[in-house]
A and B are shown apart, each in its own frame.
Chain A
Amino acid sequence: MRREVRNRVVWLLAVALAAFAAAPAAAQERGITPSEIVLGTSAPLSGPAAAWGATARGIAAYLEYINEQGGIHGRTLRFIILDDAYQPPRAVQNVRQLVEREGVFALVGMIGSANAAATADYIFRNEVVWMTPAVEQEQWIGNPNIEYLFVTYPNYYHEARILTRYAVETLGKRRIAVLYQNDQYGDSGRRGVLDELAALGLTPAAMVSYELTDADLTVHVLRLGQAQADAVILYATPAHGAMAARALAQLNPRPQILSSFTLADPVMAVLAGEAWNGVIVPAYFPYPGTDEKVDQVLQIILERNPDLASMAFNALAGVSFVEPLLEGLRRAGPDVTKESFRDAMETIQDWDGELLRGISFGPGRRQGLNRIFLSQMMDGVPHRLTDWIEYPVEY
């Protein structure tokens, strides 16, 4: 009896081993099969940054359209979205699942500088193509592992410097304060403000941080009032930005708010009401209603997901993340591998997509975008203030 059992076990083991060995050789490239290309993202579909999750849904709607047009070189694009609720541990889990279980060719976007910091090593080690993680970019500068990373997203640090310079030189403000999220995202902004003020011979009136779990920012804003700030640079999530704006509206005199472009979406006017009037915010592609190509893309995604209408700008931002990837795939041709994709991306010079304008990559250049423009929000409508303002290309 015992010998029978042992023989059976050995036989089962042998079959199992054979099955593994004979497993279909992975597609030439992870995430690329003759019929489809697999893409994925980890995004905040819930939690305090849920409004930014519209980026992922915008990508999904746009890829639906691309697939309807026949895909790229005959392959359809499959896009997997996993919710990380803006939390690094969940982002780590999601990325592992996307790479190991779903086998994605590329990750598109990711929201949360803390999330990117937690997952970058793993992503680079596995040579996963990463298209525009929407995060602070200090971590890419001087980083030798960014061969398959391509970014067309503004730099928070330089944006903060530009906002500070605008507040001081154009608006004549002298008591600049910064209200920032206590993580890598907010800290980038804080450093930018600090460095620019130092270059202008000034010091900040106040630097006040908040925690993601804070449900009330009244006392933070009271501190800004106490410091008599006449301009407040804001690095926050949509919910916290709205809370801050409403509290700031009560200060007398009311400071000028300049916010990171992450709060460029007019949904802020819905959340913060009249407190959002006058807020100055940058953008890195034209607003809907100001450009034909942008309006066309908006129509395309709204036809496929009408719920995105309340967060149109965020949804379009998502499309701006995936646009360069699609161009790279087109240029790489039907026999695409991650190396040929990388080479194709490096040929992109001064390229205009549907949304993005003036994008350049190259051997050793992974920062595709180096300019923003400022607008002022009034009743949810942006009014352009400046032409394109450039900042350095650093990686």
Chain B
Amino acid sequence: MFFWQLVVSGLSIGSLYALVGLGVVLLYRTSRVLNFAHGDLSMVSAMTAYTLITGAGVTFAGAAALTLLAAFAVGALFYFLVLRPVKDATLLGQIVTTAGFALVLGGLAVIVWGADTKAMPFPLSRFVWYDVAGLRIDQLTLGSFVVACAAMFLLYLLVQRTKFGLAMRAVSQNDAAAKVLGIPVRRVLAVTWGASAALGAVGGLLLAPVTFVSPAMMFEPFLKGFAAAVLGGLDSLPGVVIGGLALGVLENLFAGYVSTAFKSTVAFVAILAVLLVRPEGLLGRKVVRRV
């Protein structure tokens, strides 16, 4: 019973790690850029939603929709205004640019919203629970899992079942060839950045009731999401989902049975172990360089 309780809550938090990681992987696949501002974008989205709900009296659904749209816009704008101008920089330079963006967002958040911890009004409650097969599952845990899975499924549909998704995959394979074939690479990249930011916003909104809303709220989840991406394979979308879920469950089992002090440590140790055996991650593609 205790075991299953741990697994259930592990799957729920794991799905949130996966959601965060998906945003990172989506971008990495398409543009090879690791977006270190992903966590802070999610945080700013959560802050915006908080202000809309508590300051402007918008309903949660309305605030969520507005926030997703705003996140999409910010992501796409960041691509156009910041990354495109530096597209000729080395990859490392572009990654560092995202790290800079992260710092800017973090600082802005403190100035605009203050450093205090805030409680986000949320339609799903921790205090409403369902007794399923002897397990107690609360509305929030269940709801987060369902919404995260829905978001992941929508992403799957976008990438695998739409023409635009085909274009995204083409750009991620070889952007020069895609350009030659008439694919609007800039538009694809802008939409990818927007989609990644929107995914991050969903993650931020779902994490808000768990971690509370504060400028540092996404620090640990982003780290874990990124770790899930590395574990699953940085260029594999299913990989990060499996990685995230596995990470959540592994962490919980270890903390539940052995020690809470090393809860996060064991997650990273596991990743190290996997990478030693399979450097490309669980589902990543092996990189073979022909000499």
What residues of chain A have their CB less than 8 Å away from a CB belonging to chain B? 45-48, 50-51, 53, 182, 208-211, 213-216, 218-220, 222-223, 226, 238-239, 242-243, 246-247, 249-250, 252, 270-275, 310-311
- Does B44 sit within 8 A of A, measured CB to CB? no
- Does B5 sit within 8 A of A, measured CB to CB? yes
In the complex, the answer to whether A222 meets B210 with C-beta atoms within 8 Å is no
**6 A-B contacts, Cβ less than 8 Å apart?**
A46-B215, A48-B117, A218-B141, A242-B117, A252-B136, A273-B119
- Does B216 sit within 8 A of A, measured CB to CB? yes
A249-B127, A250-B138 as given contacts; A222 in contact with B256, CB under 8 Å: yes
Interface of A is mostly: helix
In the complex, the answer to whether A214 meets B212 with C-beta atoms within 8 Å is no
B222 — nearest CB in chain A belongs to which residue?
A215
Bound: A216/B260 CA distance, A:
11
- Does B263 sit within 8 A of A, measured CB to CB? yes
Instruction: Tell me the residues in window 249-290 of chain B with beta carbons closer than 8 Å to chain A beta carbons.
Output: 251-252, 255-256, 260-261, 263-264
Contact among B5, B115, B261 with A45 in the assembled complex (CB-CB below 8 Å)? B115
In the complex, the answer to whether B211 meets A46 with C-beta atoms within 8 Å is no
Contact among B127, B215, B252 with A219 in the assembled complex (CB-CB below 8 Å)? B252
**CB-CB < 8 A to B221: which residues of A?**
215
B116 — nearest CB in chain A belongs to which residue?
A50
Bound: A215/B264 CA distance, A:
10
- Within the complex, what minimum Cβ distance (angstroms) separates A177 from chain B? 13
- Does B214 sit within 8 A of A, measured CB to CB? yes
Instruction: Tell me the residues in window 32-67 of chain B with beta carbons closer than 8 Å to chain A beta carbons.
Output: none
In the complex, the answer to whether A209 meets B127 with C-beta atoms within 8 Å is no
Most B Cβ at <10 Å: residue of A53, A250, A311: A250
A246-B126, A249-B127 as given contacts; A216 in contact with B13, CB under 8 Å: yes
**CB-CB < 8 A to B219: which residues of A?**
213, 215
In the complex, the answer to whether A211 meets B115 with C-beta atoms within 8 Å is no
Bound: A218/B220 CA distance, A:
15
What residues of chain B have their CB less than 8 Å away from a CB belonging to chain A? 2, 5-6, 9-10, 13, 110, 114-119, 126-127, 129, 136, 138, 141, 207, 210-212, 214-217, 219-221, 251-252, 255-256, 260-261, 263-264
**CB-CB < 8 A to A211: which residues of B?**
261, 263-264
A216-B13, A219-B255, A219-B263 as given contacts; A50 in contact with B127, CB under 8 Å: no
**CB-CB < 8 A to A209: which residues of B?**
260-261
**CB-CB < 8 A to B110: which residues of A?**
46
Contact among A51, A219, A273, A275 with B117 in the assembled complex (CB-CB below 8 Å)? A51
- Within the complex, what minimum Cβ distance (angstroms) separates A233 from chain B? 16
In the complex, the answer to whether A243 meets B9 with C-beta atoms within 8 Å is no
Bound: A273/B10 CA distance, A:
24
In the complex, the answer to whether A53 meets B115 with C-beta atoms within 8 Å is yes
**CB-CB < 8 A to A242: which residues of B?**
117, 119, 212
Contact among A51, A213, A218 with B13 in the assembled complex (CB-CB below 8 Å)? A218
Additional pairs, 8, CB under 8 Å, beyond known A243-B211, A271-B117: A46-B115, A47-B216, A53-B115, A215-B210, A226-B256, A242-B212, A247-B126, A252-B136
- Within the complex, what minimum Cβ distance (angstroms) separates B217 from chain A? 7
In the complex, the answer to whether A219 meets B9 with C-beta atoms within 8 Å is yes
**CB-CB < 8 A to B115: which residues of A?**
45-47, 50, 53
Contact among A53, A182, A219, A271 with B251 in the assembled complex (CB-CB below 8 Å)? A219
Contact among A45, A51, A226 with B2 in the assembled complex (CB-CB below 8 Å)? A226
Closest 7 CB pairs of A and B: A46-B115, A215-B220, A50-B115, A215-B211, A219-B255, A239-B117, A219-B252
Bound: A249/B136 CA distance, A:
12
A50-B214, A223-B260 as given contacts; A218 in contact with B9, CB under 8 Å: yes
**CB-CB < 8 A to B252: which residues of A?**
218-219
**CB-CB < 8 A to B129: which residues of A?**
250
In the complex, the answer to whether B256 meets A50 with C-beta atoms within 8 Å is no
- Within the complex, what minimum Cβ distance (angstroms) separates A42 from chain B? 15
Bound: A47/B212 CA distance, A:
12
Contact among A46, A214, A250, A311 with B126 in the assembled complex (CB-CB below 8 Å)? A250
A251 — nearest CB in chain B belongs to which residue?
B136
In the complex, the answer to whether A219 meets B260 with C-beta atoms within 8 Å is yes
Bound: A358/B129 CA distance, A:
48
A270 — nearest CB in chain B belongs to which residue?
B119
In the complex, the answer to whether B117 meets A213 with C-beta atoms within 8 Å is no
In the complex, the answer to whether A182 meets B5 with C-beta atoms within 8 Å is no
Bound: A342/B222 CA distance, A:
49
A50-B117, A242-B119 as given contacts; A222 in contact with B211, CB under 8 Å: no
In the complex, the answer to whether A223 meets B256 with C-beta atoms within 8 Å is yes
**CB-CB < 8 A to A222: which residues of B?**
2, 5-6, 9, 256
In the complex, the answer to whether B260 meets A208 with C-beta atoms within 8 Å is yes
